[in-house]
Amino acid sequence: MSARVTSIHRFPVKGLSAETLGAVDLEADRLIPFDRRFAVAHGSAPVNPAAPDWLSKAHFLQVMTVPKLAALETVFDDATATLEIRRNGRQIARGELTSRTGCTVIEQFFAAYAKNDLRGAPKIVDLGGRGYTDVDAPFLSIINQASVTDLARVVGKPVDPMRFRGNLLVDGLEPWEEMGWVGKSLSIGPATLKVEQIIGRCAATNANPETGQRDLTIPHDLQRGFGHTDCGIYVRVTGGGRIAVGNDVTVA
């Protein structure tokens, strides 16, 4: 069985829910469009609205420290940059993230929803063509379904791969095969990518992506079962093109 892409995801707002895509146009040295472009920053974050720059995840609301973020459902509209936040299928906030009025609505929602977790009044930040990813580089993340299935064997319960918040989910590989790909090149459809590094995992993966409850101990179980706390790989796009669910993944 050959390896293939089984799902594609982006996260328009860091820490909030994924958007599933059937296909996406990749460009060299760029993220998936809109991936982590926006974030909800603590009031204490050293953000310069006139010249925004990348900041580490500690400056933002994130699932690792605020697991109940995972219980929110979000819908993002590319054309208007409008974010809709839902809970249990019901809209609870909506605002255009490129307008001051729209940002104020979303900020007010998080000021109430995460009031015990915030350091200062929340503020929506926009990194434009870049993204507030966990590393300061235009990396996409790939998760191997077989590795997650092997982890579930150690955990003793099903493990949803969305706990790892990856951009691409790939099936058809051996468990942990991707760990040996660092430095190699991949082809997905017409696009080419270079594997840059393995992804170390934090407590964000303990939160159930549907309920927002901490119900597993993923880093602990990775260490216990495999002697490391890694799952997934970071890749850099070296040659652009449109990729889609079902595309084969080949190692050059």
**CA distances from residue 15 to 24, 172, 180, 226 in whole angstroms, order as listed:** 21, 29, 29, 27
Three-state secondary structure call for residue 242: strand
CB of 234 within 8 A of CB of 140?
yes
Residues 234, 240: Cα–Cα separation, whole Å: 16
Q: How much is the pLDDT for 240?
A: 97
Residue 171 CB contacts under 8 Å (≥ 6 apart), including other chains? 3, 4, 6, 144, 145, 146
CB of 126 within 8 A of CB of 38?
yes
Amino acid at site 121: A
Superfamily classification of domain 4-30+135-251: PK beta-barrel domain-like (2.40.33.20)
CB of 114 within 8 A of CB of 128?
no
Q: How much is the pLDDT for 49?
A: 79
Q: What is the pLDDT along the chain (252 residues), one digit of tens a residue?
A: 589 999 999 999 999 999 999 999 999 999 999 999 999 999 999 998 788 899 999 999 999 999 999 999 999 999 999 999 999 899 999 999 999 999 999 999 999 999 999 999 999 999 998 999 999 999 999 999 999 999 999 999 999 999 999 999 999 999 999 999 999 999 999 999 999 999 999 999 999 998 889 999 999 999 999 999 999 999 999 999 999 999 999 998
**Rounded to two decimals, what is the model's pTM?**
0.95
Please report, for the chain, the start and end positions of each structural domain, with discontinuous segments joined by +.
4-30+135-251, 38-126
**CA distances from residue 58 to 1, 14, 35, 86, 180 in whole angstroms, order as listed:** 41, 12, 18, 25, 30
